[in-house]
């Protein structure tokens, strides 16, 4: 290119593209991780208190998640924080959606258990039993956290559906 203005515009475009790439692929994920770590602590604190204080903290946590929504959509922690705060606010349907999104990325038993408890709060006994039974298969300690009626349902389901691990 012989035109100095065209060269300057090309350099400016390349510099802008590089800056945007650094922002979206380096800074934003790091920033999102920092926010998720701080909100994990705040969410745990909200679970320890009752009433209006918990609701206030949960609303504030969800508001703080808004700027990183795009960067956090693939993060299990993002969905878990959203789910717990939605559950504190009584938005069980949205909490179940976030638990389901977290399960799409990671099949941890505590996620199944929390989703089962949320289904239970929603009144969906069959889905709650299925999720809690699956969590109990991974970690039997979860059975202690539910009432005796649910313990019997889970035991009956786990007895009726034998666990068949995949062959190695």
Contacts of 120 (CB under 8 A, 6+ apart): 128, 132, 150
Q: How many Å apart are CA 126 and CA 11, to the nearest integer?
A: 61
Burial class of 22 by CB neighbour count within 10 A (0 to 12, 13 to 18, 19+): exposed
Band of the pLDDT at 167, cuts 50, 70, 90?
Answer: low
**b/e for 76-107, b at 16 or more Cβ within 10 A?**
bbbbbbbbbbbbbbebbebbbbbbebbbeeee
CA dist., res. 90 & res. 86, Å (int) = 6
Q: 134: buried, middle or exposed (CB in 10 Å: 19+, 13-18, 0-12)?
A: buried
Looking at residue 26, its pLDDT comes to: 66
pLDDT greater than 70 at residue 1: no
CA–CA distance, 74 with 94 (Å, rounded to integer): 17
What are φ and ψ of residue 106, in 5° steps? -150, 125
75: closest CA among 24, 29, 15? Answer: 29
First-to-last CA distance in the chain? 62
Tell me the whole-structure pTM to 2 decimals: 0.80
Average confidence (pLDDT) over 124-143? 92
* For residue 135, pLDDT beyond 90: yes
């Amino acid at each position: 290119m012989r035109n100095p203005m065209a060269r300057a515009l090309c350099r400016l475009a390349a510099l802008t593209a590089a800056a945007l790439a650094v922002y979206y692929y380096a800074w934003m994920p790091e920033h999102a991780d920092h926010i998720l770590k701080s909100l994990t602590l705040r969410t745990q604190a909200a679970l320890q208190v009752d009433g209006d204080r918990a609701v206030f903290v949960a609303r504030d946590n969800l508001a703080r998640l808004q700027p990183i929504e795009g960067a956090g959509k693939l993060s299990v922690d993002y969905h878990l924080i959203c789910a717990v705060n939605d559950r504190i606010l009584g938005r069980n349907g949205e909490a179940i959606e976030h638990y389901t999104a977290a399960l799409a990325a990671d099949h941890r038993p505590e996620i199944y258990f929390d989703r089962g408890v949320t289904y239970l709060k929603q009144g969906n006994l069959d889905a709650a039993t299925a999720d809690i039974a699956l969590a109990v298969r991974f970690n039997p300690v979860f059975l202690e956290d539910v009432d005796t009626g649910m313990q019997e349902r889970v035991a009956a389901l786990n007895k009726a559906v034998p666990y068949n691990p995949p062959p190695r």
